[in-house]
Structure 1
């Protein structure tokens, strides 16, 4: 487990909805070329950003991942993602589409720029972009380019598309709230799971 950086004071000083949060999770790796293109697009967009830049973010066969001109002051090795996403300064997230990250982004009402890297993340992106319309897609594995990253960031952070995405994320959050509320589907499933555990444990004595 990596030590978390406290970003709260820095975020408190940023305008409402102005920050782009970037994280590719605790496991997924990008290639050096992908990192180069994404970073180039982020910098070209002019967006203020906070990037979780893990020491092992690039593939194991690549070294020295930092991109020339990267704003190091906007990077941290790790942070509490839930706290960052819930902060009023955050207006978008560039994510690898891990399921936890999607749920946390939706709960915080933050639209997503989706760059999946492996396994279920490809399907998760389809849900976010095509089914829920709560985010936009960035390239495919190995085909991301800086110009596309720049354009998508600008659309989400300051364009009309961003307004529509936030409306959709708000609806998605409503669905999540209903699921965990008393009588909701997630609450019912969890209660059934606990009841089954109790039944089985009680039956073994």
Structure 2
């Protein structure tokens, strides 16, 4: 344990993630990497997520460690009713509320941390790109501030062009018919650095609005036009060889853009402070043993992330498609994933006979949440049916596992296009995919066709590239160490 004097002399970094699972996870990895290099770290949860962690993981998950503390701020939303206590919050509501109320809460927190005896003064703030208001607060207080965008570079590049989409008249949509009449197939050849042939439908779904004052459209433009240029630098959880063209275009506008990914075991080993985990749901511990009982690359892993919601009808279609494909599968169905109750308990979630045919026989396993990196890294996992969230996409590339892509919203559609067309590791499924489309996609990715073999080859190649980026001397490893050295020099 460091002496009080030694602790007080450390550089002090405050991390402020956006309060969603996919953002908290990479931020905690960054926190551990900083702490391992003798930084004093304050990690800021919202009160809502802090309470969720206590329920799912126990007090150890937020107990901190010598030199790593957890703090909380309000999120600006009214307290939820009991049934919603462990549900992912509405994206539109939480973005509006944190942007409106967050600056005052962040200022109060930074002032309080500056007065706390025994702790070093705050020397740097790293805020989520979706919490970009914190940059302005920190800068007003004379504190260097960086933004960590936890999505892809191609996603950030798309967001950086939202203002141009408005100025050029593409957005907002003229009317609701634009969602179905082919307008979203409009090609955009003027976005420098974007994949060839990119369409409106490939850009983050927040553009699909008829309201010029839409909350997410407005906030996203502010994040790109006001917050990002005000930051001392931008961090991205990607690596140069994966998204070079997009990164070049971003750096033309935001020169200090630092690739530090993939933020995984090489940067923050699971053995380092193992009690400090980010999972907002309790993980099912049976997955490893179930996977052990299957052959190499035989299992399809199905997980639509922490935000995707489905109807009971969609769950039923996916269940029938997975059963018909005949491939063993491990399927994560979050407690809050199915939002329409139908007839309540009178309407079963899964088709009649499904559990007897598939689950009881051992060919399928259903869990509420799991250790995704462990599942993807298991020898039995051969394909990943995913919503294409950036953490999931990166973790799939790191594990060398091909993807079946079913994007839900935001820049997931952009990640999907890149996974399928640029990186060669994915097969896209339509948003309205039913049982036949699910069955066909599973058979294609898990089969012996040339396309399946090509996807496996590309996945294996990207696995090597990702490992090289974070290995000693790799591009992301060098960037991360330079970033640490830069913020360590700050004295206040």
TM-score (norm 2): 0.39
- Contact 1:28/1:117 (<8 A) preserved: yes
In 2, Cα distance between equivalents of 1:97 and 1:57: 16
Deviations 1:90-140 (A, max 9, x none): 111101111111111111111100111011111110111010010101112
Q: How much has 1:35 moved relative to structure 2?
A: 2.1
- Pick from 323, 327, 347 the counterpart of residue 43 of structure 1: 323
- Pick from 12, 31, 50 the counterpart of residue 292 of structure 2: 12
In 2, Cα distance between equivalents of 1:45 and 1:174: 30
Deviations 1:126-157 (A, max 9, x none): 111010010101112xx212111111100111
- Contact 1:11/1:89 (<8 A) preserved: yes
- Contact 1:35/1:65 (<8 A) preserved: no
Partner of 2:168 in structure 1?
none
Q: Does 1:110 align with 2:401?
A: yes
Partner of 2:468 in structure 1?
178
Q: Does 1:83 align with 2:374?
A: yes
Stretch moving more, 160-169 or 187-196: 187-196
Count of matched residue pairs = 200
Q: Does 1:30 align with 2:314?
A: no
- Contact 1:22/1:95 (<8 A) preserved: yes
In 2, Cα distance between equivalents of 1:79 and 1:166: 24
* 1:160-199 matched pairs, under 5 angstroms: 160=449, 161-199=451-489
- Max Rg structure: 2
- Contact 1:52/1:77 (<8 A) preserved: yes
In 2, Cα distance between equivalents of 1:96 and 1:88: 22
- Pick from 389, 410, 415 the counterpart of residue 119 of structure 1: 410
**TM-aligned CA distance change 1:47 to 1:2, over 3 Å:** same
In 1, Cα distance between equivalents of 2:366 and 2:317: 17
Q: Does 1:92 align with 2:383?
A: yes
Instruction: Report the secondary structure of 1:75's partner residue.
Output: strand
Unaligned runs of 5+ in 1: none
Q: How much has 1:17 moved relative to structure 2?
A: 1.2
In 1, Cα distance between equivalents of 2:396 and 2:306: 16
- Contact 2:325/2:443 (<8 A) preserved: yes
Partner of 1:155 in structure 2?
444
- Contact 2:304/2:387 (<8 A) preserved: yes
- Contact 1:58/1:65 (<8 A) preserved: no
In 2, Cα distance between equivalents of 1:58 and 1:189: 41
Aligned-residue RMSD, C-alpha: 1.7
Stretch moving more, 169-178 or 34-43: 34-43
- Contact 2:299/2:383 (<8 A) preserved: yes
In 2, Cα distance between equivalents of 1:112 and 1:148: 15
Partner of 1:56 in structure 2?
336
- Contact 2:312/2:340 (<8 A) preserved: no
